[in-house]
């Protein structure tokens, strides 16, 4: 089956080509949507078959490299278009194609009647294609190509409704912001890639990691490589300080937010770190930075989510915060825990986004939760699935989020530091609180919307089926990784561990076998979560005045949170505006216009003018051509003889 | 003793097939009335048969007729390229000639005859066959350039091409005579075994210099390029398409093969001369291309510049350079055929509609056509993911490999010039309002050919190993 | 018959004209041809000058062949003559069609294609 791996990448490409070339001509929405969905679903089936074969084979034979063709070869430098199929990449592929096909299906209903229906599915397929290249590549260059590809698709899809307004600007502004912030990160990745090539003379994982195994931890070049990679990751995976684009990315259609900005693309940074685990393990300093950045992001993004009123914004900050958890896991060396959370998060966050999409759909594009309420009555199934998702993300015991989040919390305590655990647990409580605030304000309590204009209704089947499937996985998705302390068997960790064997050998993590401590900590974090859930539900369904009073009492803090710690403003003041000002006043008006443009224009004019004069050598008379011909001969022969 | 061995027959089978079909076509043309369409089909069948023969002989690696012809590998690769070019240029020509009311069977016969010359060039292992091939091709080209016999520009173009072409032949022949005189043989495989002894003979090196001049003329290298803009502009557009792709590719195939002999010495003198020719061609081609207003003429100057890029591959004398040339020829042929195909479709009677302004607003009027033309221009500029980028990359890299970094840098700088005029057409197509609202007819045959060319440059740009894998068995 | 035998006889006695004489004559004729192409205005004369160049080369080829005792040179001369004949046919045809359209064969009057 392994040799069929290229098919996984090929199907979405085909879908993209078909819809891209003929989508406009095919007037039938169902057909366009089915092509797009089937393309991704076929990839999922192939990936599943490979996965089944992989599980059935011995551990040593689970990694395969399928080379399609040699891409670039110049001297000692050679890069293939080749796919590395192993435990890690197949897991990511399954998540991307599995969740991806559900979201494609959902989009058929969601995008119904949109003028750009075919365009939407074209971009979506292109995104899946790029994302699969990213996760399946066997070298950094192809990964980078996918990395840039998903960035491009993200840009196209955020600005999909390019004629609509978004906040203070247009969706185009949001798209540009995402693209530019991502470019900063990409620059880091690119530099990391140069350094890798410089150090190892190759960009292929196999040879880079094999050579890296010979290094000992603490080499400074490793620090720089991994740090630059992490800069790339903060861009793509929305971590401090580059997270600011993700909330704005909500300008795109909701399925896009679910697919790209929650379940798949934003986890690319975690995938990259996990893939390069051995490099990270050689740089303890970077690991610490990763852990702290992840932790801070988890906490601060969560607190911003507490006060937001836009249903998608809340989910966006929640995504940033959950991504922070994943980086925390990576930073303390618990790669499998991070990836476990990637998987469960893909289920419940996609579910929540799709649910919010159903709500927005039903409310005729209203996103303000202050203008909702009581929707439970009108859309019972959306409500049920949304609540399941909220329970899962809040870490309610025995749902998927519980297992993955708890593993991260435990690892942050065991392999990190107790204070990390404290903050992470607090952030978990915050998560539970804002999620149930969201549920309460949206589905419960009084109906605050205008009955004359808005007639909420349950979502159509194509939208409900994905919700139900995702809800199912949000419940059971965690059972592949039950911690030992609860008497389970962590299949997930066992499956992935061989990929990180090299890294684990370098890190030599301390062994912990204090089951009592682990259980105790688990109980505390569950209690914090339950408290948050209860508070969120109680306050916003029954006593909203408590929230208002608290907001008034701590008006300074509220303002701070409401304005997202003024980070956007700070960036504007410290980075964007100075750059704009210098660009405008100096770089553009003086440097560019006066110096560069003049030089360029002058040289262009000069070249063109001389060209215009000199081309008259071409007189049109054969004789003059023959004269030049003979002159050329004399020169050449003269040179050859005289030498 | 047998007259012909089976290898002889197999090795010359593409030439024999083309010859046979060109005679059939000639007879059909002579004895049937209004037979141009029929001749077209006969010629197309002939080309397909020849393609079949070339592919069949590809795995062979032999020589035929006592080392006069190469069989298989190198010869097959280039033969297939020329045959495909001939076929495509016929597809472009048919609707064009019908529109211009110059649709006669002779046209296709001449194309076949020129193609015989090209196939012979790629197969030549001897200077005699090289000479015959070049003449066979050129004489057919002279006639083709003057094919619009009632049009003065076509006459002028043919006469200029003829006089200068015959002039250059004189030098080529003189060179062959000197090589023969100093080594006692005209066979490339035998000359190389006599090195280094004759290399010290000044007559020998002058011989190579003269051959270089002869080939330099055919590939349009500065300073032997003067005919190119005039001939390309004056000749009927499909002929220009054929000459600028097939003619150039054939000339390069023999240039490369012949010069692999003296370059095996890595002689400093010849390398320098070639490098200077390359630099001059890149510079002047791109420089003079800047101020052109006529697209055919612009592409003529671009053709000079591209000859310069490819000469880098010969000057570097590395396998990488040779592979680079072969790849570049494929991509250049597809790109130029596509571009000329579009120009042929846009052209109006008596050479109208050939200027930049006539393409204004094409992006809105014919989006598919404009997109394709933009792709071809990007490929000529050398922007990934199109094939032109890979070709340039290999050639410049080969220069660096041969310690001629200055040449690579020079190439990059001069290709900056070219960006200006290639992209100008894109500016016209997409950012200017249309002034001309006449309907543009897109004949299906030509349009399909152009699409094929476009698909080709994308395919080879993304999967260059399709060609490089073939070349591993050639070079 | 008799004359030829005598000539063979003189070859055996090695009282031949040295190779360099042939080559110099050939180079001189070739240069005349080049000069003719460069200075003459009439297309037909230019064409004749080119023929002169080809024949100058033929002289070299024959001389080389003779001195190397090898037939290749002479054989090539035949090919050159065939090619020259073909070129003459095509060239004159082109000149005729030009003359029909423009009533001149002066090549310096041909400059509608330039720059």
| pLDDT(C55) > 90 | yes
Residues A557 and A580 in one domain: no
* Contact residues, chain A, for B202 at CB < 8 Å: 640-641
Residues A152 and A111 in one domain: no
* Contact residues, chain A, for B287 at CB < 8 Å: 607, 610-611, 614
Instruction: Compare CB distances from A618 to C39, C46, C114 and report the shortest one's residue.
Output: C114
- What does the angle CA A157 – CA A160 – CA A164 come to, to the nearest 5 degrees? 140
Structure tokens at A291: 């852990």
Sign, Cα dihedral of A180, A227, A80, A11: negative
Domain final residue pick, A562, A595, A614: A562
- Cα–Cα distance, A406 to A526 (Å, whole number): 9
**Residues pairing with B355 in the sheet:** B294
Sign, Cα dihedral of B136, B142, B148, B150: negative
**Residues pairing with A490 in the sheet:** A481
Structure tokens at B277: 């020719």
Highest mean pLDDT among A606-620, B155-169, B185-199: B155-169
Q: If we measure between CA atoms, which residue out of B139, B83, B115, B85 comes closest to residue B19?
A: B115
Q: If we measure between CA atoms, which residue out of B27, B123, B133 comes closest to residue B74?
A: B123
Q: pLDDT tens digit string along B49-62?
A: 999 999 999 998 88
Query: Are C60 and B132 an interchain contact pair (Cβ–Cβ within 8 Å)?
Result: no
B110 near B137, Cβ under 8 Å?
no
pLDDT for the residue numbered A512: 65
Residues A376 and A245 in one domain: yes
Residues A223 and A334 in one domain: yes
Question: Which residue out of C41, C110, C111 would a mutagenesis test of the B interface target, given it has the greatest number of B Cβ atoms within 10 Å?
Answer: C110
Domain-located, residue C87? yes
Query: Are A620 and C107 an interchain contact pair (Cβ–Cβ within 8 Å)?
Result: no
Q: If we measure between CA atoms, which residue out of B108, B115, B86 comes closest to residue B449?
A: B86
Q: pLDDT tens digit string along A452-480?
A: 777 888 888 888 899 999 999 999 888 88
The DSSP bridge pattern shows strands B62-64 and A169-170 to be: unpaired
Chain B closest-CA separation from residue C14 CA (Å): 20
Domain final residue pick, A562, A580, A609: A562
A126-129: list long-range contacts, CB under 8 Å, 24+ apart: A126/A12, A126/A16, A126/A20, A126/A153, A127/A153, A127/A154, A127/A157, A127/A259, A127/A260, A127/A265, A128/A12, A128/A39, A128/A40, A128/A43, A128/A96, A128/A97, A128/A100, A129/A9, A129/A12, A129/A13, A129/A16
Q: If we measure between CA atoms, which residue out of A125, A47, A133 comes closest to residue A90?
A: A47
**What are the distances in angstroms from CA B279 to CA A463, A616, B222, B432?**
63, 21, 9, 35
**What are the distances in angstroms from CA A303 to CA A330, A339, A402, A559?**
22, 24, 20, 12
CATH number, domain with residue C39: 1.10.287.3510
Note the pTM of the prediction, 2 decimals: 0.76
Delimit the domains of chain B by residue range. 273-475
Residues A129 and A163 in one domain: no
Residues A383 and A469 in one domain: yes
Question: Per mean pLDDT, which range of A70-84, A135-149, B126-140, B237-251 is the poorest?
Answer: A70-84
- Cα–Cα distance, A533 to A320 (Å, whole number): 19
- Cα–Cα distance, A166 to A248 (Å, whole number): 9
Spell A74-96 as b/e; 16+ CB within 10 A means b. eeeeebbbbbbbbbbbbbbbbbb
Question: Per mean pLDDT, which range of A415-419, B133-137, B277-281 is the poorest?
Answer: A415-419
pLDDT for the residue numbered C3: 47
Residues A585 and A538 in one domain: no
Residues A457 and A554 in one domain: yes
Cα torsion for A409, A412, A417, A420, to the nearest 10°? Answer: -60
Considering its fold, how many domains does chain C have in total? 1
Sign, Cα dihedral of A68, A71, A73, A77: negative
DSSP A160: S
Q: If we measure between CA atoms, which residue out of B328, B385, B419, B453 comes closest to residue A72?
A: B385
pLDDT for the residue numbered C2: 46
Sign, Cα dihedral of A164, A165, A166, A169: positive
Structure tokens at A275: 């893939």
Q: Is the ipTM of this complex over 0.90?
A: yes
B96-100: list long-range contacts, CB under 8 Å, 24+ apart: B96/B236, B96/B237, B96/B238, B96/B344, B96/B345, B96/B347, B96/B443, B96/B446, B97/B36, B97/B236, B97/B238, B99/B349, B99/B443, B100/B148, B100/B236, B100/B349
pLDDT for the residue numbered A641: 86
**What are the distances in angstroms from CA A498 to CA A59, A132, B217, C37?**
8, 22, 64, 80
- Cα–Cα distance, B38 to A131 (Å, whole number): 52
pLDDT for the residue numbered C9: 47
Domain-located, residue C41? yes
Question: Per mean pLDDT, which range of A215-229, A601-615, B9-23 is the poorest?
Answer: A601-615
Chains contacting A (3+ CB pairs below 8 angstroms): B, C
| pLDDT(C29) > 60 | yes
Residues A212-230, mean pLDDT to the nearest whole number: 88
Domain-located, residue C38? yes
The DSSP annotation for B377-415 comes to: HHHHHT-TTSHHHHHHHHHHHHHHHTT-HHHHHHHHHHH
Q: Does C53 touch chain B (CB under 8 A)?
A: yes
| pLDDT(A370) > 90 | no
B353 near B266, Cβ under 8 Å?
no
A362 near A298, Cβ under 8 Å?
no
A39 near A15, Cβ under 8 Å?
yes
Question: Which residue out of A72, A74, A638 would a mutagenesis test of the B interface target, given it has the greatest number of B Cβ atoms within 10 Å?
Answer: A74
Residues A163 and A311 in one domain: yes
Q: Which SS3 state, helix, strand or coil, does residue C106 take?
A: strand
The DSSP annotation for C28-91 comes to: HHHHHHHHHHHH--BHHHHHHHHHHHHHHHHHHHHHHHHHHT-SHHHHHHHHHHHHHHHHHHHH
pLDDT for the residue numbered A74: 63
Residues A371 and A460 in one domain: yes
A400 near A478, Cβ under 8 Å?
yes
Domain-located, residue C78? yes
* Contact residues, chain B, for A142 at CB < 8 Å: none
pLDDT for the residue numbered A587: 66
B82 near B250, Cβ under 8 Å?
yes
Q: pLDDT tens digit string along B290-320?
A: 888 899 999 999 999 999 999 999 998 888 8
Instruction: Compare CB distances from C60 to B149, B181, B186 and report the shortest one's residue.
Output: B181
pLDDT for the residue numbered B211: 95
B347-351: list long-range contacts, CB under 8 Å, 24+ apart: B347/B96, B347/B237, B348/B438, B349/B99, B349/B100, B350/B151, B351/B153
What H or E segment, with its residue span, contains residue A319?
helix A311-331
What H or E segment, with its residue span, contains residue A635?
helix A622-642
φ, ψ of residue A204 to 5 degrees: the values are: -80, 135
Q: If we measure between CA atoms, which residue out of B181, B393, B411 comes closest to residue B285?
A: B411
| pLDDT(B91) > 60 | yes
Q: Does C107 touch chain B (CB under 8 A)?
A: yes
| pLDDT(B2) > 70 | no
Express as a percent the part of chain A with pLDDT over 70: 96
Query: Are A639 and B224 an interchain contact pair (Cβ–Cβ within 8 Å)?
Result: no
**Residues pairing with B243 in the sheet:** none
Q: How many CB atoms lie within 10 A of CB C59?
A: 18
Residues A334-340, mean pLDDT to the nearest whole number: 90
pLDDT for the residue numbered A375: 84
Residues A307-332, mean pLDDT to the nearest whole number: 90
Q: What stretches of B49-126 adopt beta strand conformation (E)? A: 62-64, 69-71
**What are the distances in angstroms from CA A168 to CA A54, A164, A172, A173, B269?**
50, 11, 11, 9, 68
pLDDT for the residue numbered C25: 95
pLDDT for the residue numbered B290: 85
Q: Which SS3 state, helix, strand or coil, does residue B68 take?
A: coil
Residues B269-274, mean pLDDT to the nearest whole number: 91
Domain final residue pick, A508, A537, A562: A562
A471 near A389, Cβ under 8 Å?
yes
Query: Are C83 and B131 an interchain contact pair (Cβ–Cβ within 8 Å)?
Result: yes
Q: Which residue does chain C place closest to A624, by CA atoms?
A: C38
| pLDDT(C11) > 70 | no
Confidence label for B9 from pLDDT (cuts 50, 70 and 90): confident
* Contact residues, chain B, for A626 at CB < 8 Å: 163-164, 167
Question: Which residue out of C21, C28, C57 would a mutagenesis test of the B interface target, given it has the greatest number of B Cβ atoms within 10 Å?
Answer: C57
- Cα–Cα distance, B146 to A105 (Å, whole number): 62
Residues A94-115, mean pLDDT to the nearest whole number: 90
Considering its fold, how many domains does chain A have in total? 3
Residues B234-259, mean pLDDT to the nearest whole number: 95
pLDDT for the residue numbered B436: 76
pLDDT for the residue numbered A513: 64
Q: What is the mean pLDDT of chain C?
A: 86
Residues A386 and A495 in one domain: yes
* Contact residues, chain B, for C83 at CB < 8 Å: 131-132, 135, 139, 169
Q: pLDDT tens digit string along A77-89?
A: 778 888 999 999 9
Interface of B with A in 358-397 (CB under 8 A): 393-394, 397
- Cα–Cα distance, B191 to A541 (Å, whole number): 97
- Residue numbers of the domain that contains A6: 1-138
| pLDDT(B26) > 50 | yes
CA B469, chain centre distance (Å):
22
Q: pLDDT tens digit string along A41-75?
A: 999 999 999 999 998 888 888 888 888 887 777 66
pLDDT for the residue numbered A214: 85
Q: What is the mean pLDDT of chain B?
A: 91
Q: Which residue does chain A place closest to C109, by CA atoms?
A: A621
Residues A41 and A98 in one domain: yes
* Contact residues, chain C, for B163 at CB < 8 Å: 37, 43, 46-47, 50, 91, 107
């Amino acid at each position: 089956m392994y040799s069929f791996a290229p098919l996984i990448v090929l199907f979405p490409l085909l879908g993209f080509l078909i819809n891209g070339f003929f989508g406009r001509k095919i007037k039938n929405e169902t057909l366009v949507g089915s092509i797009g969905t089937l393309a991704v679903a076929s990839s999922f089936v192939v990936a599943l078959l490979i996965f089944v074969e992989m599980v059935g084979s011995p551990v040593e034979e689970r990694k395969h490299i399928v080379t399609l063709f040699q891409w670039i070869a110049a001297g000692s430098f050679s890069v293939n278009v080749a796919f590395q199929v192993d435990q890690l990449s197949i897991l990511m592929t399954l998540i991307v194609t599995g969740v991806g096909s559900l979201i494609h299906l959902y989009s058929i209903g969601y995008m119904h009647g949109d003028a750009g229906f075919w365009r939407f599915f074209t971009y979506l397929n292109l995104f899946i294609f790029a994302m699969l290249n990213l996760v399946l590549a066997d070298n950094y260059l192809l990964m980078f190509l996918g990395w840039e590809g998903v960035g491009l698709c993200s840009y196209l899809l955020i600005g999909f409704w390019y004629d609509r307004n978004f906040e203070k600007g247009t969706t185009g502004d949001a798209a540009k912001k995402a693209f530019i912030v991502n470019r900063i990160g990409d620059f880091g990745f690119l530099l990391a890639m140069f350094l890798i090539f410089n150090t190892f003379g190759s960009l292929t994982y196999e040879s880079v990691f094999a050579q890296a195994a010979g290094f000992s931890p603490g080499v400074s070049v490793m620090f720089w490589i991994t740090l630059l990679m992490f800069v790339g990751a903060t861009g793509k995976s929305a971590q401090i300080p580059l997270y600011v684009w993700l909330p704005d990315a909500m300008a795109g259609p909701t399925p896009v937010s679910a697919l790209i900005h929650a379940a798949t693309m934003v986890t690319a940074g975690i995938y990259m770190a996990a893939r390069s685990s051995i490099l990270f393990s050689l740089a303890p300093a970077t690991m610490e930075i990763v852990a702290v950045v992840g932790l801070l992001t988890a906490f601060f993004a969560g607190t911003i989510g507490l006060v937001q009123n836009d249903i998608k914004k809340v989910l966006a900050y929640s995504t940033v915060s959950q991504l922070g958890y994943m980086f925390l896991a990576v930073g303390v060396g618990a790669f499998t825990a991070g990836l476990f959370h990637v998987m469960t998060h893909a289920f419940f966050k996609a579910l929540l986004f799709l649910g919010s999409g159903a709500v927005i759909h039903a409310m005729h594009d209203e996103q303000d939760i202050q203008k909702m309420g009581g929707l439970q009555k009108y859309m019972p199934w959306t409500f049920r699935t949304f609540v399941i998702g909220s329970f899962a993300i809040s870490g309610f015991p025995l749902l998927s989020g519980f297992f993955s989040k708890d593993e991260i919390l435990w690892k942050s305590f065991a392999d990190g530091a107790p204070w990390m655990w404290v903050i992470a647990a607090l952030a978990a409580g915050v998560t539970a609180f804002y999620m149930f605030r969201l549920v309460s304000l949206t589905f419960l309590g009084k109906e605050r919307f205008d009955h004359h204009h808005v007639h909420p209704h349950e979502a159509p089947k194509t939208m409900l089926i994905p919700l139900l499937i995702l809800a199912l996985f949000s419940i059971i998705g965690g059972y592949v990784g039950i911690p030992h302390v609860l008497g389970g068997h962590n299949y997930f960790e066992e499956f992935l561990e061989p990929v990180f064997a090299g890294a684990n050998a370098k890190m030599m993590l301390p062994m912990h076998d204090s089951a009592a401590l682990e259980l105790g900590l688990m109980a505390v974090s569950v209690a914090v979560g339950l408290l948050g859930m209860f508070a969120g539900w109680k306050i916003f369904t029954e006593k909203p005045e408590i929230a208002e009073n608290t907001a008034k009492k701590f008006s300074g803090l509220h303002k701070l949170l409401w304005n997202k710690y003024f980070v956007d403003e700070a960036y504007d003041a410290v980075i964007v505006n100075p750059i704009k000002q210098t660009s405008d006043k100096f770089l553009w008006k003086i440097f560019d216009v006066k110096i560069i443009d003049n030089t360029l224009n002058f040289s262009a004019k000069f070249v063109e003018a001389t060209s215009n004069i000199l081309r008259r050598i071409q007189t049109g008379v054969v004789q003059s051509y023959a004269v030049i011909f003979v002159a050329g001969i004399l020169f050449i022969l003269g040179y050859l003889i005289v030498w | 003793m047998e007259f012909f061995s089976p290898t002889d027959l197999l090795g010359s089978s593409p030439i024999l097939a083309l010859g046979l079909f060109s005679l059939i076509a000639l007879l059909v043309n002579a004895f049937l009335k209004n037979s141009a369409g029929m001749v077209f089909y006969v010629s197309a069948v002939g080309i397909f048969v020849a393609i079949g023969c070339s592919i069949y002989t590809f795995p062979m690696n032999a020589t035929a007729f006592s080392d006069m012809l190469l069989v298989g590998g190198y010869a097959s690769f280039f033969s297939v390229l020329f045959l495909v070019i001939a076929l495509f240029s016929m597809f472009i020509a048919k609707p064009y000639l019908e529109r211009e009311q110059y649709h006669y069977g002779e046209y296709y016969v001449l194309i076949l005859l020129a193609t015989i010359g090209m196939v012979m060039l790629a197969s030549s292992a001897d200077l005699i066959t090289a000479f015959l091939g070049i003449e066979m091709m050129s004489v057919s080209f002279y006639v083709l350039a003057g094919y619009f016999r009632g049009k003065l520009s076509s006459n002028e173009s043919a006469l200029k091409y003829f006089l200068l072409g015959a002039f250059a032949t004189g030098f080529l022949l003189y060179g062959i005579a000197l090589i023969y005189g100093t080594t006692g043989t005209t066979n490339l495989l035998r000359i190389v075994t006599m090195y280094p002894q004759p290399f010290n003979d000044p007559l020998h090196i002058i011989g190579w210099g003269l051959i270089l001049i002869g080939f330099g003329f055919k590939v349009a290298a500065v300073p032997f390029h003067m005919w190119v803009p005039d001939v390309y502009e004056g000749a009927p557009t499909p002929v220009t398409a054929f000459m600028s792709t097939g003619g150039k590719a054939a000339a390069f195939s023999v240039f490369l093969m012949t010069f692999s002999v003296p370059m095996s010495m890595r002689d400093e003198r010849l390398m320098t001369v070639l490098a200077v020719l390359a630099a001059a061609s890149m510079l002047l081609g791109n420089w003079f291309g800047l101020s052109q207003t006529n697209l055919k003429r612009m592409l003529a100057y671009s053709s000079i510049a591209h000859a310069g890029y490819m000469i880098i591959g010969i000057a570097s004398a590395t396998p990488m350079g040779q592979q680079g040339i072969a790849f570049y020829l494929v991509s250049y042929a597809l790109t130029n055929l596509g571009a000329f195909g579009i120009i042929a479709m846009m052209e109006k009677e008596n050479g109208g509609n050939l200027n930049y302004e006539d393409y204004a607003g094409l992006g809105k009027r014919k989006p598919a056509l404009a997109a394709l033309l933009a792709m071809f221009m990007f490929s000529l500029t050398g922007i990934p993911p199109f094939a032109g980028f890979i070709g340039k990359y290999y050639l410049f890299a080969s220069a660096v490999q041969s310690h001629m970094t200055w040449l690579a840098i020079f190439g990059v700088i001069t290709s900056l010039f070219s960006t200006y005029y290639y992209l100008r057409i894109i500016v016209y197509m997409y950012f200017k309002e249309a002034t001309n609202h006449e309907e543009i007819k897109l004949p299906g045959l030509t349009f399909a050919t152009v699409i094929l060319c476009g698909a080709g440059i994308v395919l080879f740009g993304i999967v260059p190993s399709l060609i490089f894998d073939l070349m591993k068995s050639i070079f | 018959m008799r004359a030829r035998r005598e000539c063979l006889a003189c070859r055996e006695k090695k009282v031949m004209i040295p190779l360099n004489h042939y080559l110099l004559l050939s180079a001189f004729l070739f240069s005349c041809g080049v000069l003719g192409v460069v200075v003459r205005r009439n297309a037909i004369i230019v064409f004749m000058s080119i023929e002169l160049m080809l024949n100058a080369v033929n002289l070299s080829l024959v001389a080389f062949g003779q001195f190397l005792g090898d037939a290749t040179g002479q054989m090539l001369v035949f090919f050159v003559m065939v090619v020259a004949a073909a070129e003459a046919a095509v060239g004159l045809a082109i000149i005729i069609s030009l003359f029909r359209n423009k009533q001149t064969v002066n090549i310096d009057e041909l400059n509608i294609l330039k720059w």
